[in-house]
């Protein structure tokens, strides 16, 4: 079976379609049109107990994925699911004594089960990149300058990079009144936090000239 056949036939086309959607998502993220760090649910929130997803935080902590953005976790799992599914169809498909659709479904489930721990092992080294510095609270961020990372900033969208105490850059969600001149690479000043959205409100700012 050719590679194109693996991609276009069941079960390979299921994770292949998800991979295609993720490629579009990450292209938009590179262009600054979506905020990849804050896309989807916040996986670093503590469990309140008794909720519909009460077991999710504990599972993520056990896998070591609790500090990573949702988009990266999903991308890692889908990638390994796609890879293992294609390998399974190519290497094991002819030997599975089941009808095509049933064998394909078994391969999909088995590949997904194996993909989760493999993704966790591959993604755990990235956790330090997304750990917020202990001093990075609201008081230390408000009043600082930042660099805009997205192509635009409006009332509901925007991401910026701010440096805290000469440490590693911290990515934060920002918003601004429109119209404004904020684009990728612009310098802005963080003036307050929007309690409703949890975003930092920014405005265009020019640093004073060096003496």
- Tens digits of pLDDT across the chain (211 residues): 677 887 888 888 999 999 999 999 999 888 877 777 666 665 554 444 434 344 445 666 677 777 788 889 999 999 999 999 999 888 877 777 766 778 889 999 999 999 999 999 999 888 776 665 544 566 678 889 999 999 899 988 898 998 876 666 788 889 999 999 999 999 999 999 888 878 899 999 987 776 6
Could you write out the DSSP letters of every residue in 99-154?
A: -HHHHHHHHHHHHHHHHHHHHHHHHGGGGGGGPPPTT-SHHHHTT-EEEE-SS---
Domain spanning 138-204: CATH 2.40.50.140: yes
Domain boundaries, the chain: 3-130, 138-204
CB 145 within 8 Å of CB 162? yes
The tokens of 91 are what?
A: 């290497």
């Amino acid at each position: 079976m050719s590679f194109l056949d693996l991609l276009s036939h069941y079960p390979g086309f299921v994770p292949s379609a998800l991979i295609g959607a993720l490629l579009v998502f990450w292209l938009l993220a590179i262009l600054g049109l979506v905020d990849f760090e804050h896309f989807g649910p916040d996986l670093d929130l503590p469990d309140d107990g008794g909720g519909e997803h009460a077991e999710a935080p504990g599972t993520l902590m056990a896998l070591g994925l609790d500090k990573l953005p949702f988009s990266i976790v999903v991308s890692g799992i889908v990638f390994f699911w796609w890879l293992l599914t294609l390998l399974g169809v190519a290497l094991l498909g002819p030997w599975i004594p089941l009808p095509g659709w049933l064998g394909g479904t078994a391969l999909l489930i088995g590949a997904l089960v194996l993909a989760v721990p493999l993704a966790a092992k591959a993604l755990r080294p990235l956790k330090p990149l997304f750990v917020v510095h202990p001093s990075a609270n609201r008081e230390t961020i408000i009043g600082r300058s930042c660099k805009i990372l997205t192509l635009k900033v409006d009332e509901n969208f925007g991401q910026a990079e701010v440096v805290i105490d000469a440490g590693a850059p911290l990515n934060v969600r920002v918003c601004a009144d429109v119209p404004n001149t904020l684009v990728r690479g612009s310098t802005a000043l963080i003036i307050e936090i929007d309690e409703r959205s949890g975003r930092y409100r920014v405005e265009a700012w020019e640093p004073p000239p060096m003496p």
